[in-house]
Chains A and B, each alone.
Chain A
Amino acid sequence: MTPAPRVPAFVVILALVATAIASSVATTVGLTAQSAPPATPALDTLPVHGQVSLITGAGGNVAVQVGPQGVLVVDTGLEARADALIGAIRRLAGDRPIRYIVNTHAHADHTGGNLKVAAAGTQLVAGNFAAQVGDRAVQGAAPGAFIVAHENVLNALSAPKGGGAPAPFGGWPTDTFFQDERTMYFNGEGIQLVHEPSAHTDGDVLVFFRGSDVIAAGDTYVTDGFPGIDVAAGGSIAGVVESLNRLIDLAISEQFTEGGTRILPGHGRVSDEFDVVEYRDMATIVRDRVRALRQKGSTLAQVLAARPAFEYEPRYGTNRAWTTEQFVGAVYASVNQPAGTVSTTRGGNR
């Protein structure tokens, strides 16, 4: 019989030392944490890479590109946090005008601030467009930033499925596209808007700042929960996995699968390629399990009972806004759907 491994005495002793030290630290932290947090937490601004910064706390994450031509904002958070977001943008960009908003998808925690943030910006106008703007143009600038999004975002905001109330008109996208990709050039760098046709919703775009080497992924990738799949809005697990693989394709690590391209999730912390790789692995494994169970004829209740995301529950299943059961249910509902129609040739708008 092989005896069980014994713990050397000095390890135990050092463990006790460390326990005492750790306990004192934990006590301090615990006392600090007892202070009641503010009802509406302050927004946090974090430089990411190149010209792009991340603002958190406005609802969904907000990416802000600041340069000589002005400001481009990816997503605008919740309506209730719009004033705070504008303040954070002003602190970051000074008096540089907000020229563009890009929406990664239609959900209110990413588009709720469209109306106010757009109104806080201005756009350059000339020619026929200046004539349309008329008296609203002052010294070649018209009030209101342009809002760029896939046309499915405009559809969702202007005529929501299920008959819900549309978003305020001033918050609708002003500049939409229906191709696989839209490109822009602003502040000295190319920006790719890559449409993911059936991922979190049917209108997701990945916003790739090619010079800054940052991708704003919207809710196709989050770090604070399981992948959100709004099946009613055209989302699917196949599309989520496809969009995660696309992020991995686009990202280039600096060294040892670290650094290089930074990826901003729709919710959560700054990431790089390998963070997405682990997340993609999880989404793929859960998809495979649910698909196998469904192919055997398992009902949703049976699939939920099998807990196909078991080992990931303590990491991603603590998000009360999107539970493990909701995620598995969405995978079950969409696992037989294709990832969506994507042409093999990108750049359709050029």
Chain B
Amino acid sequence: MRQLLAMTGLAVITLFTAPRAASAQFDITGSYNTLLHEDQPERIPGPALGDYSGLPINDYARAFAEAWDPSRLTVPEHQCRAHSAPYIMRGPLNMRIWDERDAQTQQVLALHIDISNFQQRRVIWMDGRSHPSASAEHTWMGFSTGEWRGDMLVVTTSHIKQMWHRRNGLPQSDAVRLTEYFTLHEGVLTQVTWTDDPVYLSEPLLKTTNMRRNARPLPAQQLLYPCTAVVEIADQVRGAVPNYMPGENPFLKEYGAEFNLPEVATRGGAATTYPEFQSQLKGAGRVRNAPQSGRP
């Protein structure tokens, strides 16, 4: 199986990386909406606490998530946090892409992406500039540069703020580096993300997301997402950081119990992302004794 995949992969590599005329580039500008058929339970209702399945996380990431209390999002300084670049495109969003050109040469200097989700703006520099120094600030969207490889746009992003790989507390560090591959096929923009996080991932995290190109431009109102932090808990003390002491998070087994999954499968890790992992599941014990949680 692995040999077949490797051979197929080499063939596709050749296909994608063979020199092509610049005219093969597609026009990426326009308006898009996300298509949410893929991983819908994670992307819309949201992941359950303790669901780390399918992610190549390490022990540090798992420990971080197990201490994470969702109530932390009630703290005013956490309320308006945005998703970061490796995560935001998977959310429900409207998106508009336009290019910025040199007035004299008409060469594309940058691609701009307005994302309705958390009102984020990405700038992908196409003029060959280098990434900033290590001392420069980090942002949700990071610093991006792009290049065309045939009819595939490849975007590299650094300087991304700390956020999460999954919005149930699994952390993404500020050392993360994102590589994206954009292709367009019959009006569907496909984004393949390759996420390297030397702090919290033991192997790269690979995801795909599809977006449909709109025939008509989006009304401006569909690109708005205001946020204002408020006091949600009246007696919350200044500096509150809701968290669980190690081993005291009561919600971690809910997910496995609800879906009758072996605990080892819910814990994530690189091994769980490979087909061979299925053989380890035979005979693995299911999650038992889940606490009362209020989930239906």
Contacts and interface: CB of A to CB of B under 8 A. Distances in A.
Interface of A: 1-7, 9-22, 44, 46, 54, 56, 241-242, 245, 248-249, 253, 255-259, 262, 268-275, 277-278, 280-281, 284-285, 288-289, 292, 306, 308, 310-315
A2 B259 contact: yes
Nearest to B261: A2
A20 B17 contact: yes
Contacts of A16: 5-6, 8-10, 12-13
B67 A6 contact: no
Interface stretch (B20-28, B99-107, B215-223, B272-280): B272-280
Interface string B188-203: 0000101010111000
A69 to B, nearest CB: 26
A268 B133 CA distance: 11
Contact of B119 (A2, A255, A288, A311): A255
Nearest to B121: A255
Contact of B181 (A17, A258, A288, A314): A17
A284 B241 contact: yes
A282 B193 CA distance: 28
Interface string B130-155: 00011111111000000001000010
Contacts of B120: 256
Q: In the complex, which of the residues A7, A12, A245 has the most CB atoms of chain B within 10 Å of its own CB atom?
A: A12
B206 A11 contact: yes
B281 interface: yes
9 contacts: A11-B206, A16-B8, A17-B9, A46-B136, A262-B137, A273-B77, A275-B174, A310-B63, A314-B200
B239 A288 contact: no
B82 A18 contact: no
Which 3 residue pairs are nearest across A and B when measured between Cβ atoms? A16-B9, A311-B64, A270-B137
Interface stretch (B29-37, B53-61, B89-97): B53-61
B17 A281 contact: no
Contact of A257 (B64, B82, B206, B281): B82
Interface in B225-245: 227, 238-239, 241, 243, 245
A303 to B, nearest CB: 12
B10 to A, nearest CB: 7
A253 B274 CA distance: 42
B250 to A, nearest CB: 17
Category for how many chain B residues contact A: 35 or more
Nearest to A315: B199
B246 A6 contact: no
Contacts of B135: 44, 46, 54, 56, 268-270
B239 A258 contact: no
B245 A292 contact: yes
B119 A256 contact: yes
A5 B266 CA distance: 11
B78 interface: yes
Contacts of B281: 1, 3-4
Contacts of B154: 21
A248 B239 CA distance: 9
Contacts of A272: 137
Binding site secondary structure of chain A = helix
Nearest to B159: A269
Contact of A269 (B54, B58, B136): B136
A292 B248 CA distance: 13
A324 to B, nearest CB: 12
A242 B237 CA distance: 13
B208 interface: yes
A314 B60 contact: yes
Contacts of A44: 133, 135
A104 B124 CA distance: 38
Contacts of B64: 311-312
Contact of A13 (B12, B82, B241): B12
Contacts of A14: 12, 181, 192, 206, 208
Q: In the complex, which of the residues A3, A20, A268, A284 has the most CB atoms of chain B within 10 Å of its own CB atom?
A: A20
Contact of A241 (B196, B239, B265): B239
Contacts of B194: 15, 18, 22
Contacts of B198: 314
A97 to B, nearest CB: 26
A269 B137 contact: yes
Q: In the complex, which of the residues A22, A54, A245, A314 has the most CB atoms of chain B within 10 Å of its own CB atom?
A: A314
A213 B9 CA distance: 51
Given A5-B53, A277-B77, A310-B60, A18 B181 contact: yes
Contacts of B261: 2
Given A1-B281, A4-B281, A17-B181, A284 B239 contact: yes
A16 B265 CA distance: 24
Contact of A18 (B173, B179, B273): B179
B5 A13 contact: yes
A80 B56 CA distance: 45
A295 to B, nearest CB: 12
B82 A269 contact: no
B40 interface: no
A156 B12 CA distance: 65
